[in-house]
Amino acid sequence: MEPIEPSASRAIIFAGGEIGTQPSPDPDAFVVAADSGWDHAVDLGHHVDLLIGDLDSISQAGLRTAESSGIAIERHPSDKDDTDFTLALAAVADRGYTRLDVYGGEGGRIGHLLGVATALTQERLRHIDITWHVATGSVHPLADGGAMDIAAPIGSIVSLITLTDCTGVSVEGVSWPLRNDILEQGTSRGLSNTTNAEQASVSLNTGAMLVIVEGNES
């Protein structure tokens, strides 16, 4: 299982869909299960503090266990504007957590996959350090004055997916660095860079992007 550093300021969301990593339980974290994310959490030995969603995909056995356990359950109608995952994100944001790790949400329809990724860039989440852990690596939202360090093996692949025009983009510790550059929305200039140092960094002045860090496939 993936080792973690316990923190009372840390939240974890288990989403539905496929899960590509197996995090170790963190007894100090606030754990949210978005619908069938409950089944992932329980299967991996995690406690759950909040079950949220329309609860149409959680296993029947899982729902019975959740209802009998006495944990907080926020059940929403299936006819709603928000997905179960965005409801979970709102629950974390409303409680003031500053670090969030997301597991699950992989596989299935491409619309669902992209919906999970872009939901991480919501403005109300900008104060939270978010990592979506996926089978091939990790996804990190970055926006408006944001900066992040990347601790990954040399040769790791770093891709910047620009969701808007981005200014003041700097990337260090990679084979093709950028310094105070402009990346237009949808450009391929930020794709498939590689780290050449044990620690790399990404920052920007304005705009929104997803930073994807993956292992070297060679």
Contacts of 188 by beta carbon, 8 Å cutoff, 6+ apart: none
Q: Are 202 and 193 in contact (CB under 8 A)?
A: no
Asked whether the domain spanning 136-218 has the same topology as the one spanning 1-135, the reply is yes
Which of 46, 26, 29 has the alpha carbon at shortest distance from 37? 46
Spatial separation of the C-alpha atoms in residues 125 and 90, rounded to whole Å: 8
Task: For residues 210 and 212, give the distance between their C-alpha atoms in angstroms, rounded to a whole number.
Answer: 6
Would you state the pLDDT for residue 8? Answer: 64
Pick the CATH number of 136-218 from 3.30.365.10, 3.40.50.10240, 3.40.1190.10, 3.30.450.20: 3.40.50.10240
Give residue 217's pLDDT.
58
Phi and psi at 172, nearest 5°, equal -120, 160
Q: What is the mean pLDDT of each run of 10 residues along the chain (218 residues)?
A: 63 96 94 98 97 97 96 94 96 96 94 95 95 97 97 96 98 98 97 96 98 82
pLDDT at 46: 97
Alpha-carbon span 160 to 156, nearest angstrom: 13
pLDDT score at 108: 84
CATH architecture of the domain formed by 1-135: 3-Layer(aba) Sandwich (3.40)
Distance, CA of 76 to CA of 161 (rounded, Å): 32
- Alpha-carbon distance of 54 to 75, in angstroms, equals 5
- CA distances 81 to 86, 93, 181, Å, are 10, 18, 37
> How far apart, in whole angstroms, are the C-alpha atoms of residue 203 and residue 52?
33
- To the question of pTM greater than 0.85 for the whole model, the response is yes
The Cα-based distances of 144 to 48, 50, 67, 192, 214 in angstroms read 33, 31, 41, 22, 24
Report how far apart the first and last C-alpha atoms of the chain are (Å, whole number): 24
Domain spans of the chain, in order of start: 1-135, 136-218
Secondary element (H or E) of residue 67: helix 60-69
